Amino acid sequence: MVQHLVGAALLLGSGLVAGVFFAVAISVLPALTAMTPDRYLHAHRLLGKGYHPTMPILVNATLLADIALAVLAPSAAVRVMLIVSVVGIVVVEAVSHLCNVPLNKLAGQTDADAVPADWYDPRPLWRRWHMVRTGAALAVLILNSFAIALGS
């Protein structure tokens, strides 16, 4: 019973993480890229408020559920899939904290009403790192889905 509840939470968590990142990749990023620097910086501040602390909590909860299910896995194949998922969600966290968050802070330090002429535009690099973590999150969702299906 506990294993089924943790499995449901894992699918919900990994689905939400992958879904949010996917939505940002296909809709939010193109919109932000099309904006002038001042509009982008204003929008960036507004968007950031909705992601913190929800996304870090969701990613960490998914990690803990993956670890718990890996320990309780009914077979070696399911355990391997869940361990690879753990690695994938750690990649999501590492890219977020080491790559995207510093770029967010850099953008947050720029005055949107007085963007300097030599302003460093973090959007292209932020997008590349976001696509890495989106790919990792989608892989985690796929692996978790297979692990849950095979473990039932």
Whether the per-residue pLDDT at 152 is higher than 80: the answer is no
pLDDT of residue 141: 98
pLDDT in tens, 61-86: 999 999 999 999 999 999 999 999 99
Q: Choose among 143, 63, 127, 129: nearest CA to 97.
A: 129
C-alpha to C-alpha distance for 34 and 99, rounded to whole angstroms: 22
Q: What is the pLDDT of residue 68?
A: 96
Query: How far apart are alpha carbons 56 and 58 in whole angstroms?
Result: 5
d(CA 50, CA 41): 15
pLDDT tens digits, one per residue of 113-149: 999 999 999 999 999 999 999 999 999 999 999 999 9
Q: Say whether pLDDT at 50 is over 90.
A: no
Instruction: Quote the CA–CA distance of 110 and 106 in Å, as a whole number.
Output: 7
- Rounded to whole angstroms, the Cα distance separating 84 from 66 reads 9
**What is the structure's pLDDT at 49?**
84
